Amino acid sequence: MARPSHAGYCGDGDASCHQASSAIVMKPLDGSAVNANDSIVVVEPNPLPRQQLFLIWLIHASQGFQTTMLFPMLVFMVERYGVPGVGGRAIGWRAGLLASLFPLAQFCTSMMWGVVSDKTGRKPWLAFGCSVSAVSALLLGICTTYQGACYLRFFGGLLNGTLTVTKSALAELCDGTNQAKGFGILNLAWGIGSVTGPVISGLLAQPCAQYKIRNCPSILKEYPFLLPCVGAAIFSIAGVLASISFKETNPKFLSTSYNRISDLGQIEDQQRQSQQAESTEDHKEVELTSPSCKQKLIVLIAADERSATKHLMVSEACASAECGGSLSRKADEHHVSKSTRFSWIDRNVLMASLCYSMTGLIFIITDELFPMFGAASESVGGLGFSSSALGLILGEGGVVLCLYTLIFYPKVSRRLGPLKCFRIGILSTVPLWICFPVSSFLGNAPLLQWCLLLACMAARSVSACTCFTGVLILVSNSASPENMGAVTGLSHSCCSFFRAIGPAIGGLVWSYASGKHFFMHQFLAWDFVVLLSVSTYGLSFYLPPALTQPKRVTLRIEEPTEHPRS
């Protein structure tokens, strides 16, 4: 790449020329236009640590399983518990309330878990959260009352901050070059967990009645929902083992020095020579090249900078051991001490969190709505499907999600970027929510009905991966490294609140729609979700393009003390 002239960098209107004299600004060598907020032009993606990524995948998938495995058996559980005075339409809102308690509890504590993991590390709270999931799942399997199930779901979410911590840990493993792949795999983990959960619960719940087993074990007769809960507990125990093997990612608990850059001394010599030869110029150029680093940067260093410590702003892509260098990955304590406790909550954080929350609301409502719509009798506009049939449809969506995430999404993300992916993904859900209730008119053509449902579920998986992964990257990019856990906790807390009210809203809307008798009344609940999707698409235009790249990290270059030569 040819280096542009010095004038090309510090011409009129160049934002870098208006920085404080102590700042160091990086520019690309190819002379391309650079945004004032950008610090580096990425040449090629950095590889992600496979073992760490797999462990995060396993932990996150176990939480997806734990969160959604209740959906196919919710209605049957409420009926089994035999709540006095509950029947017909009242089952819908009670089932929605039970589903809402887990995310409602996480709304109360997610931000706390993020802040705690910022201060004490990610690893211990991953293991603790997975342990809580395993215990609460087993107790739910042997619960025989509606009130007991409500208590277990609430406290199981209250003491579990795993979702917040896994997102924070992944954000620390990724940089601007590989975010799409990293968060795509995280979304794949959630998708697989949230699909296998309903599938397994649909297939294993009430085995004696569902499969008409003659000599069914008495324990399964007494506890018909035990098997799905045991499956969730086993998955959570696997998450505990993965947490124990996981390596800490919080920068505060990592070694802060890296391998020395061989030509750092040359850089310092070039700077001193340039200052002596051209003392009248405001800025000097220094070329930073390291054999082990895949980036090559032009650094504009203020000529009047005389302090022993200089702050070098780079992206996380170059803050790795393979880049080398005596760089300290430490936050500027002077600036941190001056900041207020909640100074990290800015407009970008709030808007990204709101879009993430609205996306979560949309999909949690449909997660709740589809099983209710599918299990409802045809007389009230439903499909009259069994829990196993619903589980198979959801399983097909999981297969599509795997294929799309692993094969197609990285290419789509590289071409469009996270912001466009989010917008396209959320807008593409609008026709899907209309097509789902259309299937209720195809009861006399079961083959066509199944084809439509499978196509809709496959398209839903594609849309979910595209918009969820995009908005997760936007949330991550709105956070500074030292506040990653807090921002992730805030966004997950907001999303948990929306996910808490989502099932209740879905249950209430379906209860209202199923009680009507006019033509196409079953469309009412789905039309409500259409309005939410359109509203979220509109909100996406308040997200700035700057969120497509991660915030820069402050690294300190410690200059050696000069000794007089003998």
**What are 300's two structure tokens?**
């504009």
pLDDT at position 104, please? 86
Specify the DSSP element, H or E, that contains 1. none
By the 8 A CB rule, do 364 and 503 touch? yes
Q: 465: which residues sit within 8 A by CB, 6+ positions away?
A: 184, 187, 188, 191, 401, 404, 405, 409, 425
pLDDT at position 152, please? 94
Q: Which residue ranges form the domains of the chain, and what is each CATH number?
A: 16-36+255-328 (no CATH), 50-253+341-548 (1.20.1250.20)
**What are 258's two structure tokens?**
């890296």
By the 8 A CB rule, do 27 and 34 touch? yes
- The predicted-structure confidence for 324-364, as pLDDT tens digits, reads as follows 444 444 444 444 444 456 666 788 899 999 999 999 999 98
The partner residues of 313 in beta bridges, in order of sequence, read 554
- The predicted-structure confidence for 265-313, as pLDDT tens digits, reads as follows 444 455 555 555 444 444 443 444 444 444 434 333 333 333 333 334 4
Using CA atoms, how far apart are residues 152 and 12, in angstroms rounded to an integer? Answer: 64
Identify the DSSP state of 554: E
**What are 285's two structure tokens?**
């150029």
**What are 277's two structure tokens?**
């030869």
Using CA atoms, how far apart are residues 197 and 394, in angstroms rounded to an integer? Answer: 10
**Residue 247 confidence (pLDDT) above 90:** yes
Using CA atoms, how far apart are residues 483 and 475, in angstroms rounded to an integer? Answer: 12
**What letter represents residue 426's amino acid?**
I
**Residue 447 confidence (pLDDT) above 80:** yes
- The predicted-structure confidence for 8-60, as pLDDT tens digits, reads as follows 334 333 433 333 333 334 444 444 444 544 444 444 668 888 999 999 999 99
**What are 11's two structure tokens?**
């011409």
DSSP string, 361-424: HHHHHHHHHHHHHHHS-GGGT-----HHHHHHHHHHHHHHHHHIIIIIHHHHHHHHHHHHHHHH
pLDDT, greater one: 337 or 208: 208
pLDDT at position 274, please? 52
Return the percentage of the chain with pLDDT > 70, whole number. 72
Using CA atoms, how far apart are residues 388 and 200, in angstroms rounded to an integer? Answer: 9
**Residue 528 confidence (pLDDT) above 50:** yes
pLDDT at position 509, please? 83
pLDDT at position 84, please? 59
Nearest to 313 by CA among 3, 13, 19: 19
Using CA atoms, how far apart are residues 532 and 369, in angstroms rounded to an integer? Answer: 14
Residue 556, φ and ψ in degrees, nearest 5: -110, 130
pLDDT at position 89, please? 61
pLDDT at position 86, please? 54
- Tell me the mean pLDDT in the region 544-565: 61
**Residue 470 confidence (pLDDT) above 70:** yes
Q: 254: which residues sit within 8 A by CB, 6+ positions away?
A: 248, 329
- The predicted-structure confidence for 373-407, as pLDDT tens digits, reads as follows 888 888 778 888 887 788 788 878 878 988 898 88
- The predicted-structure confidence for 48-98, as pLDDT tens digits, reads as follows 889 999 999 999 999 989 888 887 788 888 888 876 555 556 776 788 788
- The predicted-structure confidence for 288-297, as pLDDT tens digits, reads as follows 444 444 443 4
